[in-house]
Amino acid sequence: MKIRAVELVRVVRADGPAHASGAQAGSTLSASAAPAPKSRPRRKAWPTEIEVANPMSRFPRFKPRRQLYAARQWPGFAVKITAEDGTWGLGSCAGRPAAAVVADAFAHIIAGEDCMGIEKLWDMMFRVSKPFGTVGIATVALSAVDLALWDLKGKLLGKSVCELLGGPVRERVFTYATGDDCDWYLELGFKAFKLPCKYGPADGAWGLDQNERRVAEVRELIGDDCELMLDCYMAFDVDYAVRLAERLKPYKLRWLEECLIPEDSLGHLELKRRLPWQTLAGGEHFYTHYPYQLIVEHRALDILQPDIQWVGGLTPCLKICHMAEAAGLEVCLHGGARDPYGQHLTFAMPNTPWGEYYIGSDPGIPLAEVAQPGALVPENGYLDFTATGPGFDLGIAEDWLEPFAL
């Protein structure tokens, strides 16, 4: 079966939120396709209310909020790939630069190709991007095309993507809540929590004190029977990460996450050498499976966290899972428990026992009211496997799709 068309589309649904067109900076297609919540919030959610350490924290102008430096226009869109018989698959993405890569660099080289040859198509797109750079925007674009191809393959064969990967290896996935509204997550039944770290090297000793104080508060709130992790979002250097980890020893962190920028390969090796006792996680900003070779070989990270919508799609995620399994390492997809793409892979791989459920919605709004189409919703901290329709079973109707204009 040949590929007949590769199109850029956006999702528009009558019951969607005000930004359903995807015009909001940083939005994704999956987020824009979610319905508008019906319940009244108790308060605003943490993303716009607290400072979070990040790579831009060294610049005072942008330090207080991520929104101060976020892209002004980063609309959500999707890649729709249609086969000769009219069957179509969908892969979500965000940002006009990624859309331009799909339209100008990828669409014409895969049109007319066998839609079942996903490995070949991935390799073609990977190699055609070499002159302008594969890492970053091009890999995000590649992710959307790859996910659309897997969705299409499942529909053509009448099987879910999870079935294409061999079927579920577990009936339940333990999920943790990511965010800073931990009282609300406790009420929802979660038993594991990942906090955003508020301060970094720019805040000196005062910031170390504040970080420890917040971790101590949350540990007291959730008790010793729950897991607690800290997300450092590329804000640290090696020395600061070591100092903070030593301070946080009494609070029994399950892991410390993404302390360094992804380009600092030697820093990752040095950090593990200096913190052999601390479980380290990361990888959401590694692009393609190639950077993981060094990480796995040197055991620089204990838990690998590729993002299925950034790393290049499902195809490299499979390679990462297999590399990690051979080395005795776990994989926990970044945000992977929140969307159908990540959920299908997480249920199918033997070394993906955890799932991350990012919560950016306001406390008081049930998760089911803001869940992405086709996504399972955790109950009491677990996702229970449910048989789905073909492909990723995204729950997006074709009449919701409109052309996306660059």
User: Which structural domains are found in the chain, ordered by start?
Assistant: 3-39+70-158+396-403 (3.30.390.10), 163-384 (3.20.20.120)
Indicate if 344 belongs to the active site.
Answer: no
Residue 198 to residue 88: CA distance in whole angstroms: 43
Please report the pLDDT score of residue 37 as a whole number: 86
The string of pLDDT tens digits covering residues 111-137 is 999 999 999 999 999 999 999 999 999
**CA nearest neighbour of 7 among 116, 83, 73, 118:** 83
Amino acid at 69: Y
In the chain, count of helices (H) and strands (E)?
Answer: 14, 13
Residue 245 to residue 165: CA distance in whole angstroms: 38
Provide the residue count of the chain: 406
Mapped to the 3 state alphabet, what secondary structure does 54-90 carry? CCCCCCCCCCCCHHHCCCCCCCEEEEEEEECCCCEEE
- How far are the Cα atoms of 38, 60, 194 from residue 278, in angstroms, in the given order? 42, 31, 16
How do the pLDDT tens digits run along the chain, 406 residues long? 999 999 999 998 766 654 333 333 334 555 556 678 889 999 999 999 999 999 999 999 999 988 899 898 899 999 999 999 999 999 999 999 999 999 999 999 999 999 999 999 999 999 999 999 999 999 999 999 999 999 999 999 999 999 999 999 999 999 999 999 999 999 999 999 999 999 999 999 999 999 999 999 999 999 999 999 999 999 999 999 999 999 999 999 999 999 999 999 999 999 999 999 999 999 999 999 999 999 999 999 999 999 999 999 999 999 999 999 999 999 999 999 999 999 999 999 999 999 999 999 999 999 999 999 899 999 999 999 987 899 999 999 999 999 999 9
φ and ψ at 76, to 5 degrees?
-75, 145
Residue 85 to residue 160: CA distance in whole angstroms: 19
* Active-site position among 268, 285, 289, 334: 334
CA dihedral 142, 122, 80, 89 (to 10 degrees): -130
Prediction pTM value = 0.95
Angle between helix 118-128 and helix 137-157 axes, rounded to 10 deg: 160
Strands (E), 248-348: 255-257, 280-282, 303-304, 330-331
